[in-house]
């Protein structure tokens, strides 16, 4: 498998060097692996820190900037970062109003962020955490690791970031972050698996005639495999899964997210079907985003995330944002 890399072991640091060179609005600590807003910390503003494995770019580093995250901690490819990174990041963005950790629900991410939050408390930094678990493909139960955090992470980071920018206190920012997560659902479909540089070959093999339903963002296989079919039917499979979990209605925010290896053209083809489906259900996509935002290396496929909006959430979504991966209104 051909990859544009210098060496397998330097993938993450070389990515960080590139981000640092390309985005003067960011301060990148390559050694400790933390990406900061160049102007952090902001006195009196809640600091937003997220992080997770690399390979999902632009998540999370591409969402650092005005109106979104204050810092991001990239782990190795598909591996959660370590507590030292979150502690360093939290110290760097704490402007006295506390720090919100936005954590995707994976065992590794949860354990490392928990350890970091405890150690931050020891150092006198107030930390609140919000867990993102929007993926309906996973059955939620007390006896499993629970639902995964996927596309809705972008919604949480954007909307909580907008509220933090207004000077809202930590408890409020955490509340809105939780509300966004609770109102959001996602489902993913893969046409091919991605290739982790260290593994050198696709994580799973999919024949030309089959697709994988309910995939996560780490190249882990999904729950079921089915025959490949028209975009219309695939979009329907994904949205049925969401609608079965929580009925789609009212005004919604929709992310039609590419997994990294699918042309934008195909994402728009799927999006047309998503919009039609919502209309059929009496729901409306009043805000939308189509593109590669929460990727899984070079996986082909998409995920669709739907957030049922309130007036407050719509207003915060529309608020100005200026990050490498998302920018409007400023």
Partner 1 sequence: MDTSFFLAWINAIATAVQAERDHLTQLDAAIGDADHGANLDRGFAAVRQALTDAPPQTPGAVLTAAGSALIRKVGGASGPLYGTAFRQMGRSLGDAAEITPEALAAGLEAALAGIQKLGGAAEGDKTLVDALAPAVRALGRAVQDGTKLTDALAATEAAAQEGARATVPLEARKGRASYLGPRSVGHEDPGAASTVLIFAALREAAGQA
Judged by the rule CB under 8 A, the positions of this chain that interact with partner 1 are: 53, 75-84, 106-108, 111-112, 115, 137-139, 143-145, 148, 196, 198-199, 203-204, 216, 218-223
Q: Which residues pair with 289 in a beta bridge?
A: 255
User: Is residue 23 annotated as a catalytic residue, yes or no?
Assistant: no
Catalytic residue among 23, 56, 60, 101: 56
Catalytic residue among 42, 60, 101, 218: 218
The CB-of-84 to partner 1 minimum distance in angstroms stands at: 5
Nearer to partner 1, 20 or 115 (CB): 115
Nearer to partner 1, 146 or 161 (CB): 146
Encoding tokens for residue 306? 């739907």
Taking a C-beta distance cutoff of 8 angstroms, is the pair 77, 55 a contact? Answer: yes
Nearer to partner 1, 131 or 196 (CB): 196
The CB-of-137 to partner 1 minimum distance in angstroms stands at: 8
The CB-of-81 to partner 1 minimum distance in angstroms stands at: 6
Length of the chain in terms of residues written: 330
The 3-state secondary structure of the chain, one letter per residue: CCCCCCCHHHHHHHHHHHHHHHCCCEEEECCCCEEEECCCCCCCCCEEEEEEEECCCCCCHHHECECCECEEEEEEECCCCCHHHHHHHHHHHCCCCCEEEEEECCHHHHHHHHHHHHHHHHCCCCEEEEEECCECCCCCCCCCCCCCCCCHHHHHHHHHHHHHHCCCCHHHHHHHHHHHHHCEEEEEEEEECCECCCCCCECCCCCCCEEEECCCCCCCCCCEEEECCCHHHHHHHHHHHHHHHCCCCEEEEEEEEECECCCHHHHHHHHHHHHHHHHHCCEEEEEEEEECCCCCCCEEEEEEEEEECCHHHHHHHHCCEECCCCEECC
The CB-of-27 to partner 1 minimum distance in angstroms stands at: 22
User: Is residue 218 annotated as a catalytic residue, yes or no?
Assistant: yes
The CB-of-83 to partner 1 minimum distance in angstroms stands at: 7
The values of phi and psi at residue 35, to 5°, are: -110, 120
The CB-of-196 to partner 1 minimum distance in angstroms stands at: 5
Nearer to partner 1, 114 or 172 (CB): 114
Nearer to partner 1, 119 or 170 (CB): 119
Nearer to partner 1, 169 or 202 (CB): 202
Instruction: List residues with catalytic annotation.
Output: 56, 218
């Amino acid at each position: 498998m051909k990859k544009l890399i210098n060496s397998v072991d330097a993938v993450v640091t070389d990515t960080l060097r590139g981000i640092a060179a390309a985005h003067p609005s960011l301060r990148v600590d390559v050694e400790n692996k933390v990406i900061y807003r160049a102007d952090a910390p902001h006195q009196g503003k809640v600091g937003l820190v997220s992080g997770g494995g690399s390979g999902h770019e632009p998540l999370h580093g591409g969402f650092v900037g005005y109106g979104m995250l204050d810092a991001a901690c990239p782990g190795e490819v598909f591996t959660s970062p370590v507590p030292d990174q979150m502690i360093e990041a939290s110290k760097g963005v704490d402007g006295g109003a506390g720090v919100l950790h936005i954590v995707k629900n994976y065992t590794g991410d949860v354990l490392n962020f928990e350890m970091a939050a405890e150690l931050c408390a020891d150092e006198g930094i107030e930390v609140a955490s919000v867990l993102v678990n929007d993926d309906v493909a996973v059955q939620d139960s007390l006896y499993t690791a629970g639902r995964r955090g996927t596309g809705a992470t972008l919604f949480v980071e954007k909307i909580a970031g907008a509220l933090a920018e207004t000077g809202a206190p930590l408890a409020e920012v955490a509340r809105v972050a939780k509300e966004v997560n609770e109102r959001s659902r996602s489902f993913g479909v893969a046409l091919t698996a991605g290739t982790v540089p260290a593994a050198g070959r696709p994580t799973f093999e999919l024949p030309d005639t089959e697709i994988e339903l309910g995939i996560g963002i780490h190249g882990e296989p999904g729950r079921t495999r089915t025959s490949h079919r028209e975009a219309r039917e695939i979009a329907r499979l994904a949205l049925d899964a969401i609608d079965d979990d929580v009925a789609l209605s009212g005004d919604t925010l929709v992310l039609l997210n590419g997994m990294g290896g699918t042309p934008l053209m195909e994402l728009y083809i799927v999006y047309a079907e998503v919009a039609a489906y919502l209309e059929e259900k009496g729901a409306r996509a009043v805000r939308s985003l189509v593109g590669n935002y929460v990727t899984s290396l070079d996986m082909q496929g998409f995920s669709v995330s739907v957030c049922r909006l309130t007036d407050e959430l719509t207003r915060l979504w529309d608020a100005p944002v200026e990050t490498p991966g998302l920018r409007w209104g400023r």
